[in-house]
């Protein structure tokens, strides 16, 4: 594939999305990004979507369905918030300390989830159901089912998401780390081998169990970052998410995951996830512009329709291309 085609293919969807959404906003006398505050929100939301999508894709691409991502994000964030508040009482430096603890807590929860999976040797969809219920139960017991607010409402936290710089740093660091880990290490090579041919990979001597556990640890750490960013952005953490109330977070990552996978045909899948997150964030910013007219329910419907439409295209691409080419040839003839 030529470089020009790669660049065009990689940037086509985000540029087209930006163009269409900007046109819609301009027609209504507005812009997608109206000021510095909306730009800050745009970058923070991009970070949240990109990291969630990466966490979802690590296990899902390996055939492991993981419902526990949302519960890990919430429980690790509550752990980070409680410990950092006990240490600093919301003083300066609370945000970086909470981020660090939340990532560690997320990694630990991911480790627990992974160990349960490899120890029980049950289908991951079943273990993740159990793990989700356990983590939600711990979260509820820990918080009494209430919102955690005082611990995350301080100048340090609001300052962290009050500027786009911190979120941008997180995006760059995590993107580079993911590229390094999954594309340039023995772990990454083994992961890709197991992903594409589990039985053959195991027969060639690749140790599947440590690889799977490490995948869960990385997912947990990533969801820790998501939990922190959500806590800072929403200024609270919902501690009462019982009966699978936490799983909706993973559904928000489906569309960017499929878009990212499509973009990866022309570049890397990690870059694809970033660009897909940019698209979702642009859409989110447009929703914010029309917040008076577009309710949360309508936003959900639009997102679901986009998911289905994109998948219809993705799964019928050859058919559509063939149909258009045939029509073109008929017109020429």
Q: Is 249 in the site for another protein (CB under 8 A)?
A: no
In the structure, how many helices (H) and strands (E) does the chain have?
15, 2
| Binding test (CB under 8 A) with another protein, winner from 33, 131, 148, 157 | 131
* Close Cβ partners of 141 (under 8 Å, ≥ 6 residues apart): none
Within 10 Å of residue 34's Cβ, how many Cβ atoms?
A: 13
Among 31, 70, 57, which residue's Cα sits nearest to residue 259?
57
| Binding test (CB under 8 A) with another protein, winner from 19, 87, 93, 123 | 123
Q: Is 129 in the site for another protein (CB under 8 A)?
A: yes
Q: Is 290 in the site for another protein (CB under 8 A)?
A: no
Stretch that binds another protein, among 31-39, 116-124, 155-163, 325-333 (CB under 8 A): 116-124
Among 248, 245, 253, 250, which residue's Cα sits nearest to residue 136?
245
How many angstroms separate the CA atoms of 320 and 253, rounded?
26
- Taken in order 78, 37, 163, 58, is the CA torsion positive or negative? positive
Write the CA distances from 22 to 35, 101, 215, 301, integer angstroms. 14, 39, 38, 21
| Binding test (CB under 8 A) with another protein, winner from 180, 311, 321, 325 | 311
* CA angle centred on 222, ends 89 and 230, rounded to 5°: 50
State the greatest distance between any 2 C-alpha atoms of the chain, in Å, as a whole number. 77
Q: Is 298 in the site for another protein (CB under 8 A)?
A: yes
Q: Is 321 in the site for another protein (CB under 8 A)?
A: no
How many angstroms separate the CA atoms of 145 and 150, rounded?
15
Stretch that binds another protein, among 50-58, 240-248, 261-269, 273-281 (CB under 8 A): 240-248
Stretch that binds another protein, among 29-37, 50-58, 86-94, 136-144 (CB under 8 A): 136-144
Query: Between 104 and 138, whose beta carbon lies closer to another protein?
Result: 138
| Binding test (CB under 8 A) with another protein, winner from 305, 321, 323, 328 | 305
- Size of the residue set binding another protein (CB under 8 A): 57
| Binding test (CB under 8 A) with another protein, winner from 178, 247, 249, 276 | 247
Closest approach, Cβ 32 to another protein, in A, equals 23
How many angstroms separate the CA atoms of 185 and 293, rounded?
49
How many angstroms separate the CA atoms of 170 and 48, rounded?
10
Dihedral angle at the C-alpha atoms of 227, 233, 234, 235, nearest 10 degrees?
90
Stretch that binds another protein, among 222-230, 271-279, 285-293, 299-307 (CB under 8 A): 299-307
Name the phi and psi angles at 268, rounded to 5. -90, 150
Among 229, 83, 79, 81, which residue's Cα sits nearest to residue 139?
79
* CA angle centred on 245, ends 221 and 168, rounded to 5°: 35
Site for another protein in 61-80 (CB under 8 A): 62-64, 67
Q: Is 39 in the site for another protein (CB under 8 A)?
A: no
Stretch that binds another protein, among 103-111, 221-229, 265-273, 289-297 (CB under 8 A): 289-297
| Binding test (CB under 8 A) with another protein, winner from 93, 145, 197, 322 | 145
| Binding test (CB under 8 A) with another protein, winner from 19, 87, 155, 304 | 304
Query: Between 68 and 154, whose beta carbon lies closer to another protein?
Result: 68
Query: Between 187 and 254, whose beta carbon lies closer to another protein?
Result: 254
Among 210, 111, 229, which residue's Cα sits nearest to residue 170?
229
Q: What is the binding site for another protein (CB under 8 A)?
A: 62-64, 67, 116-118, 120-127, 129-134, 136-142, 144-145, 198-199, 202, 208-209, 212, 242-244, 247, 251, 254, 295-298, 300-301, 303-305, 307-308, 311-312, 315-316
């Amino acid at each position: 594939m030529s470089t020009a085609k790669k660049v065009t293919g990689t940037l086509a969807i985000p540029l087209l999305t930006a163009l269409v959404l900007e046109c819609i906003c301009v027609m209504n006398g507005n812009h997608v990004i109206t000021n510095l505050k909306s730009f800050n929100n745009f970058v923070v939301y991009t970070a949240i979507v990109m990291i969630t999508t990466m966490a979802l894709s690590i296990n899902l691409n390996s055939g492991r369905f993981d419902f526990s991502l949302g519960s890990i994000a919430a429980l690790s964030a509550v752990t980070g918030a409680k410990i950092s508040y006990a240490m600093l009482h919301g003083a300066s430096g609370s945000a970086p300390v909470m981020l660090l603890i939340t990532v560690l807590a997320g990694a630990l929860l991911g480790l627990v989830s992974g160990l349960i999976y490899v120890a029980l040797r049950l289908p991951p969809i079943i273990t993740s159901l159990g793990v989700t219920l356990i983590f939600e139960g711990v979260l509820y017991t820990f918080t009494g089912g209430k919102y955690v607010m005082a611990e995350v409402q301080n100048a340090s936290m609001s300052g962290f998401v009050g500027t786009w710089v911190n979120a941008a740093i997180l995006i760059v660091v995590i993107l580079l780390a993911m590229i390094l880990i999954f594309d340039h290490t023995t772990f990454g090579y083994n992961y890709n081998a197991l992903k594409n041919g589990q039985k053959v990979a195991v027969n060639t001597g690749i140790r599947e169990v440590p690889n799977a556990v490490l995948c869960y640890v990385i997912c947990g750490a990533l969801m820790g970052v998501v939990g922190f960013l959500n806590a800072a952005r929403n200024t609270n953490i919902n501690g009462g998410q019982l009966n699978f109330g936490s799983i909706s977070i993973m559904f928000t990552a489906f569309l960017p995951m499929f878009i990212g996978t499509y973009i990866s045909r022309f570049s890397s899948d990690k870059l694809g996830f970033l660009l897909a997150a940019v698209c979702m964030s642009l859409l989110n910013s447009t929703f914010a512009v029309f917040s008076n007219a577009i309710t949360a329910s309508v936003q959900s419907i639009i997102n679901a329709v986009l998911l289905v439409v994109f998948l219809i295209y993705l799964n019928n691409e050859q058919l559509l291309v063939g149909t258009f080419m045939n029509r073109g040839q008929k017109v020429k003839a």
